[in-house]
Structure 1
Amino acid sequence: MTKSVQAYFATENDAESAKASLQSLSIGRETVEAIPEDTDMTPIIPVAGSTNSGGGTFNFTEVVSPKQDHEHAKSDKKTLTHILHFTLPAEEIERALQIIKDHKGYINRKDME
């Protein structure tokens, strides 16, 4: 099964860098674009609480319920400027999320359902 993912970044360079790193996976239809002004950013969450500076392992459940101050997450979302769209096989989603996390990306909570 193929999964569609949207990842949000603070800069176009972050999005392009993540896209380049994702090339090691079987991604397809990848595009980077500016986030439209009318985008509902409510369901956007940091991947595994990107403010976590500990060297912990990636935990898929933290993507859905990040252990992070929600007010801080809301203020972070206001600075997101670019979105990376791509598809990939469902079995590669955890590796893709790790790459997005490494590039300080955010994802749409709906992509994880």
Structure 2
Amino acid sequence: MTKHIEAFFSTENDAESAKADLQSLSIQHEMVEAIPEDVDLTPVVPVAGSSNTGGGTFNFTEVLKPKYDNDGALSDKRHMTHTLHFYIKEEEYDRALEIIEKHEGHMNHKHFE
């Protein structure tokens, strides 16, 4: 069985680098795309420290909340700009999370509950 993964990254380069590393696994239908500015990233958290990757305790205060300066530009460096979508075999899911973590990716917190 396959699982759909959607990971968020700070830069297109981070997303593309993660995608390149994921090629060592059996991923399918992989695609990197820009995140529209109106997307709510509130439920998105760092993969590092999630219960699935053996990291520290998950803390909901790490939820992303982009901040804007007076000109409306994003000033929070944690703001995600690109997403990577792909499907992976269930038995390779944990390895995929390790790769996403290595590239400082974020995912919806529901994947770690």
Q: Same fold (TM over 0.5)?
A: yes
What's the CA shift for 1:70?
1.3
Q: How many corresponding residue pairs?
A: 103
1:74 aligns with one of 65, 76, 84: 65
Q: Is 1:108 equivalent to 2:108 in the alignment?
A: yes
1:60 alignment counterpart:
52
Conserved 8 A contact 1:9-1:80: yes
What's the CA shift for 1:96?
0.2
Question: TM-score scaled to structure 2, two decimals?
Answer: 0.77
Unaligned runs of 5+ in 1: 50-57
Q: Secondary structure at the match of 1:93?
A: helix
What's the CA shift for 1:43?
1.2
Q: Secondary structure at the match of 2:65?
A: helix
Question: TM-score scaled to structure 1, two decimals?
Answer: 0.77
| Paired amino acid for 1:104 | E
- Measured in 1, the distance between the counterparts of 2:54 and 2:43 equals 14
Q: Is 1:7 equivalent to 2:2 in the alignment?
A: no
Q: Secondary structure at the match of 1:38?
A: coil
Q: Secondary structure at the match of 2:107?
A: strand
Unaligned runs of 5+ in 2: 67-75
Percent identity between the aligned chains?
A: 56
What's the CA shift for 1:105?
0.5
1:92 alignment counterpart:
92
What's the CA shift for 1:66?
1.9
Q: Secondary structure at the match of 1:40?
A: coil
- Measured in 1, the distance between the counterparts of 2:8 and 2:96 equals 13
Pick the structure with greater CA Rg.
Answer: 2
- Measured in 2, the distance between the counterparts of 1:85 and 1:18 equals 11
**Distance of aligned partners of 1:61 and 1:25 in 2 relative to their CA distance in 1, 3 Å threshold:** closer
